[in-house]
Structure 1
Amino acid sequence: MSKSGKVFKFIMNVSDNIKKTVSFLRKNLLKCIEYGLLVSALSAYSFFMFIDPLMDLDFQEVLDVWYRWQSLNVGVLAFVSSVIFYKSTKYATNKQTERNFIAAKSVLPNALSELTQYNTEAFEIWAHKERSLVASGHGITRVDPESLIAPPLPEEIHLVFKNCISHAPKAVGAELAVILQQLQIINARTKSLIDESESNASSIEWVHSNIWRLSRLQAAVNQLFSFARSQSDFDDSPINHQDIVTGLMNISRNGHQFTSDRVIERYRPNPE
């Protein structure tokens, strides 16, 4: 690596560290201020109520100080007791939430497998439509099978996802909610494609965009599998182009390679 390249890499590393530090301070500044004020107040109270009176080794003076400030002492004791009670209650609640999430997550892999099966069946619908549009563009008439129906949404998915979202950490719950949202969109558009109620159903661009959306949904499912199986921590990294292509390959079966190739070609990133 050239000297200029090393300098550029060093500058980028410093920039990343600065960004991480600023982000940490933004998230924890208020908490640091709260803890700082609390420690300062308790330190001052401890000094004037215990350390300073005991410095003269006059026990009567200590009792007099405590007697004069008994209202403050009662308030401090009540405050400390409430803090201890709050912390213990919060700890017990968090532990119960963790146990509930572990129980809910235990059936998440099966729900993700059913969702993958749904995505595969939904892709069949879109692939048939895509091939029909391509054929008609070449003057060839294709008739979709009369038995082509929208795959039903597995009932278990909504229940499992709902339980997981209720007990999951914020980032995990948000990701599961996005998956459910995208699933509803895909399901509605698949139905409208079959009953021909969608005005864009004859647009190859619209069909390709929904196949790409379906592939992105599968990519999100793929990213969750290892976490659902407790094989790794939650991965909240953004889904990239290759992830979506992999998702498309996972659901494109039964001789739909040409459809997959056309969709990938349409969404191939421009070279820099």
Structure 2
Amino acid sequence: MLAFLSSVIAFNISRFNADQQRSRDFLAAKAFLPAAFSELSEYFKSSASVLTSEWGRQGDGEINVEVPSPDGDYKLIFEKCIRHATPEVGKYLVGILVQMQIHNARLRELFRAGDGIIHIHIGRSNLIAYLYRLGELQALINKNFDFARGIDSFDSKPLEWEDLRNAYGNLNIRSQDIVVDEKMNLEEFTRRALARNSAAKQG
């Protein structure tokens, strides 16, 4: 019995020490997360500028545009944070990375060059979806910027319209201008998407 109790105590001490070390490692990694968030925000703003310019352009044809690309440092910072974070925080950061990959792929495909000249053709409905997803990425970063800075707790609440409205403002996206009709516009698209996400999580 004493041997069993000793082994249990030793196991608990070992687990406590491992948890403490993981916490210290996460704090060290998280120190660089605000810089990564800031870099991504600049990339998102550049992406938004390109997409909103395309919204304002009429017709097909050749365009002259410099397609933005993110700084590669954010991947290493995210990887270190995910490795040492709690499962909830790790899942959140992984979600941002996955959506980043989708956004990057869409942007490259949208502005793919052939023979050195960029030709694009995309419907406005797709552009609304792209802008929503970009706003969602910015909102996810905004939501836990203070957590990354170490001045607030982690916020796991689902995104709401106000989160997206603020994100669009950060990205200089005027949602009131992104309108096809009363049903197909950025605000209504965003509200419908948020409602679907909320229903999915509750289900």
For Structure 1 versus Structure 2, the TM-score category normalised by the shorter chain is 0.7 to 0.9
What's the counterpart of residue 96 of structure 2?
179
What's the counterpart of residue 153 of structure 1?
70
1:168 aligns with 2:85: yes
Higher Cα Rg: structure 1 or 2? 1
What's the counterpart of residue 29 of structure 1?
none
What percent identity do the matched residue pairs reach? 30
Task: Tell me by how many angstroms 1:267 deviates.
Answer: 2.4
| Structure 2: runs of 5+ lacking an equivalent | 115-119, 180-184, 193-203
Task: Tell me by how many angstroms 1:149 deviates.
Answer: 2.5
TM-score by length of 1: 0.62
What's the counterpart of residue 42 of structure 1?
none
| Structure 1: runs of 5+ lacking an equivalent | 1-75
What's the counterpart of residue 186 of structure 2?
264
SS in 1 for 2:144: helix
What's the counterpart of residue 112 of structure 2?
195
1:220 aligns with 2:137: no
TM-score by length of 2: 0.82
Deviations along 1:109-154, one digit per CA (max 9) or x if unpaired, are: 000000000100111121122112xx33xxxx7863x2x1321221
SS in 2 for 1:267: helix
Cα RMSD, aligned residues only: 2.2
Task: Tell me by how many angstroms 1:257 deviates.
Answer: 3.6
Contact in 2 for aligned 1:172/1:234 (Cα 8 Å): yes
5 Å matches for 1:1-272? 76-132=1-57, 135-136=58-59, 144=63, 146=64, 148-195=65-112, 201-252=121-172, 257=174, 261-262=178-179, 263-267=185-189, 269=191
Which consecutive aligned stretches of 4+ in structure 1 deviate over 2 angstroms post-superposition? Answer: 141-144, 256-270
Higher helix residue share = 1
Task: Tell me by how many angstroms 1:233 deviates.
Answer: 0.4
Task: Tell me by how many angstroms 1:201 deviates.
Answer: 4.3
Deviations along 1:39-87, one digit per CA (max 9) or x if unpaired, are: xxxxxxxxxxxxxxxxxxxxxxxxxxxxxxxxxxxxx122111101100
Q: Give the AA of the match of 2:27.
A: I
